[in-house]
Structure 1
Amino acid sequence: MRALFRAARASSRLFSTSHASRQHQNVLDELEARGFVAAVTSPTIRQHVNSPSCIYSGVDPSAPSLHVGNLLPLMGLLHFHLAGHEVIALVGGATGSIGDPSGRSSERPILSAEQLKTNVEGITGQIGKFFARGEELASLFVEAKPPVKRHPVKVLNNLEWFGQMSLLDFLRGTGKQARVSAMLSKESVKSRLADGGISFTEFSYQLLQAHDFSVLNQEYGCRIQLGGSDQWGNIVAGIDLINRQRKTLNAEEGPIESESQDEVFGMTLPLLTTASGEKFGKSAGNAVWLDACKTSVSDLYQFFYRQPDSMVEVYLKTLTLLPLATIEETLARHRERPQERIAQRVLAEQVTHLIHGEDVLQKCLRAAELLFNTPLSQYRSEEIAHVFATDTRFKTVSWNDIESIPLRKIMATYGLTASSSAAAKACAEGAVSVNGAKVLDHKSCLDKTLMLDDHLFILKLGKKDQFILYVE
């Protein structure tokens, strides 16, 4: 068993038996047991997914990176993928220029075409890596025999069809089938109308998403749309559009027997929230990004490691592929020795591996070991430079860059504090240390003769925030 699972090593037998049984389990049963399912549009979806189907979920590229709040629908798709269903991840290169009003009290800013293109490329790459690492993690468990046949994951951009469509074509096709009364009844619209109004641009978003489902149904045989619980109205709009289009086609050409004429479904997931009940996301101001340049690997790891006991079970079940029996066993051991944070460690390692890969995880673990459990006298500059090479807490500088510069300015310049005044206040409160020595005078400068291993300054702010200056 790899080092990743050292906290759950005693459960290796449960890994194999649980995973083998889930291969023959209805994927909806698996998702319900993990707390994924908020609602479904029809109870017959359970019977439908007994055999391979096609499912999609979409994300609008409102930023160049996904964040932790996007993980739940991706994990839902991953479970379907591992169970042998066809999966489509749809990036909204077109709808991203509009913005989904769901869950928002104000209009989204309009992004430029160039920014949208950059965002689409970033998110498309992240989705591809996510599924590749998901399969890598799944392969650590013993596969059932015969193995499940898995289809390649499709990552599509809805600009492919919207970019070729004129406004008149859209109105004559999708617009003709829409009913304004139904559109007005959607919660996302009603809440905005009651709070300052909504533009026609965002009002039309539900039709654009409905058209996506229609295209994917016709072109790829997609039968299920998956989304957060705030997407219920948009999902229902898509199902209604498909049904209306079928009725029109049947009236014009007569009944057509084909797989694409069968029932389509919607499934929503509970929104991923913090311990205080806040939704994760950019607009909430608490985004934890999947891009290591926006949220460092260490910060991502620490985010999950610091989760309270009240949230660990929820996150283990929804954000990891660990079998449920293994999760229960891990939680049982955690309850026996809560001070060791066994469950939090397993959670942090699993999520970090899924997002960044095992090699990056191992560097992250070594970095944490160095910063929190290694005496400063044992620091070696060569290892520090290797382990922290891509870490945002590590900066390579020349002595000329920092010589005779007050500590408060160095702390602000390299991001240990938000400003020089904040650094000065921290020093006065005794919260700052350099190479293990507390610094009270914010005007003091770094002493070259006190560098660790001739290259290192370790700046600490409190117990959690640290920064490494490597002096060339």
Structure 2
Amino acid sequence: MLGKWFRTAHRAPLKWRVTPLTRNLHLGRDLLSELSARQLIADVTRPDDLIQHLQGGSRTIYAGIDPTAKSLHAGHLIPLLCLFHFQLRGHNTLALIGGATALVGDPSGRMTERSLSEKAQIESNTATLMEGIQQFFSRAAEYALHKVPSPTTSAQLQVVNNLDWLKDLNLLDFLRSTGIHFRVNHMLARDSVKTRMSAHNGITFTEFTYQLLQGYDFYELFRTKGCTIQVGGSDQWGNILSGIDLINKAEGDSAGTKERGFALTTPLLTTSQGEKFGKSAGNAVWLDEKLTSYLDFYQFFLRTMDADVERYLKMFTLLPVEEIDSVVREHERQPGHRLAQKLLAEEVTLMIHRKEGLEAARVATNVLFGTDYSELHARDIVKSLVNDPRLVFCTEDELLGIMLPNLAANFGLTSSKSAARQLALGNGLYLNNVPQPDIYFTLERSHLIDGQVAILRAGKDKHLILALH
């Protein structure tokens, strides 16, 4: 059975069965064509069989989330949006939090062993991630209402925790019922294991068994919830195949002629240079605005390179592919206007943070990078920069009647008062985007935006926003 499986598991070409896309996701196109056109497929097993399987009625699909962090990040958006495309087509979706497997540690994509996480931290992360996943699907559904006419609403999302079925699993029973179906030589052949085996410290038995536990998850969801498709990042390909192989061996027919279960992997979030984004890479862009502000989230997508922007628009938004192609063509004619990047930043911020978050990001962007402050209001400025260290609240005594260079030094915009004065003399000290060369210029309430906020800038891009309590 295993040999037969590997002959049928193969990489799907990105151009198979691509049909014209329109805003309506429900006009006879197969789902895999749309996912392929949006570059959301890295690998898929038995694509023709999967197409027929999806056309046979509502199916159940799952993706796993590792609770080693307390928030979702931008890298999670790719598999979650893939799940959401299934949900838009009326399929049921499962998000699995690895509350048990996180205690073991996934070796995939790593050259060194993960530090074992504390149980209390995993439990806390699991709770916040469950809320974050529910929020993502809720907001994505709101976003889809304005992008996709008549989306299917009967499909359900369930968030489950594999600790619920793994915590009481008896080791002897597990070895007899599950371990018996795995061959060590095949486990050693997995890329994640081979990579670690080649490293100086090798791989521990704990991490080596991870693929059995993830395989068991797929089998458990297949058995109890009728789940037939697993979605995951491309680094999870081997682990997903382990689950499919277990399903086929434990539940397959005696002749071994009927394959069950499907794997679909998505690309990892990288730049065109192959640079990764995420918690492990140390540059995660979090979906929680307390960890990554509206501004920084928006700016992350606004700073997308030209080589990446078309791919990101297709992956991260629900805009029709034809519309994206048109925007990209316009962008190529006038790349300096960055039309594609602005559209990408607005669409993704709208989906994740709703209209309020997008408006806050726009205001903050204008404050920090714009040139026209005439339409800015103090209340909006403060709201847009909540939790940003550049926003400082102060009293009237701390702000009014004080010379501008002294303010710059007092609040850390410059290293000293003399440095601030030198900056002012060189037209490098700004108040509300206007240079103030007078080193004796004293701030009064009339100088404040709406009598409440002063925006100081040192040089081109160092800002300080002072707001009265």
Q: What is the TM-score normalised by the length of structure 2?
A: 0.83
Corresponding residue number in structure 2 for 1:40:
44
CA contact (8 A) 2:88 2:155 kept: no
* 1:372 shift after superposition: 3.6
Q: What's the CA shift string for 1:147-196, capped at 9, x where partnerless?
A: 64531111111111112223333223222222111111111111111112
* 1:386 shift after superposition: 4.0
Q: What's the CA shift string for 1:259-287, capped at 9, x where partnerless?
A: xx861111111211023211111121221
Q: 1:308 to 1:347 in 2, by over 3 A?
A: same
Cα distance in 1 between the residues matched to 2:93 and 2:299 = 31
Q: 1:376 to 1:264 in 2, by over 3 A?
A: closer
Cα distance in 1 between the residues matched to 2:353 and 2:460 = 26
1:95 aligned to which of 89, 93, 101 = 101
* 1:25-424 equivalent positions in 2, closer than 5 A: 25-43=29-47, 44-51=49-56, 52-141=58-147, 143=149, 148=152, 150-196=154-200, 197-246=202-251, 263-373=260-370, 375=372, 380-389=377-386, 393-398=390-395, 407=408, 410-411=411-412
Cα distance in 2 between the residues matched to 1:78 and 1:157 = 19
Between 1:266-275 and 1:135-144, the stretch displaced more is 135-144
1:113 partner amino acid: K
* 1:67 shift after superposition: 1.1
CA contact (8 A) 1:377 1:452 kept: no
1:137 partner amino acid: Y
Corresponding residue number in structure 1 for 2:9:
none
Q: 1:20 to 1:273 in 2, by over 3 A?
A: same
CA contact (8 A) 1:406 1:445 kept: no
Cα distance in 2 between the residues matched to 1:394 and 1:298 = 13
* 1:410 shift after superposition: 3.5
* 1:436 shift after superposition: 4.2
Cα distance in 2 between the residues matched to 1:46 and 1:124 = 30
Between 1:444-453 and 1:211-220, the stretch displaced more is 444-453
Cα distance in 2 between the residues matched to 1:343 and 1:241 = 44
Q: What's the CA shift string for 1:289-345, capped at 9, x where partnerless?
A: 111111111111111112121111000000101111111122222233322211111
Q: 1:212 to 1:439 in 2, by over 3 A?
A: farther
Corresponding residue number in structure 1 for 2:448:
452
CA contact (8 A) 2:75 2:278 kept: yes
What secondary structure, in the 3-state scheme, does the structure 1 residue paired with 2:467 have? strand
Q: 1:140 to 1:193 in 2, by over 3 A?
A: same
What secondary structure, in the 3-state scheme, does the structure 2 residue paired with 1:318 have? helix
* 1:391 shift after superposition: 5.1
Cα RMSD between the aligned structures? 3.3
Between 1:333-342 and 1:183-192, the stretch displaced more is 333-342
CA contact (8 A) 2:408 2:456 kept: no
Q: 1:406 to 1:189 in 2, by over 3 A?
A: farther
CA contact (8 A) 1:211 1:238 kept: yes
Q: 1:373 to 1:165 in 2, by over 3 A?
A: same
Unaligned runs of 5+ in 1: 1-16
* 1:349 shift after superposition: 0.7
CA contact (8 A) 2:371 2:433 kept: no
Q: Percent identity?
A: 42
Q: 1:314 to 1:445 in 2, by over 3 A?
A: farther
Cα distance in 2 between the residues matched to 1:431 and 1:40 = 56
Unaligned runs of 5+ in 2: 1-20
Q: 1:447 to 1:118 in 2, by over 3 A?
A: farther
1:339 partner amino acid: G
Compare the two structures and name the one with the higher helix fraction: 1
* 1:19 shift after superposition: 2.1
* 1:360 shift after superposition: 1.7
What secondary structure, in the 3-state scheme, does the structure 1 residue paired with 2:231 have? strand
CA contact (8 A) 1:407 1:446 kept: no
Q: What is the TM-score normalised by the length of structure 1?
A: 0.82
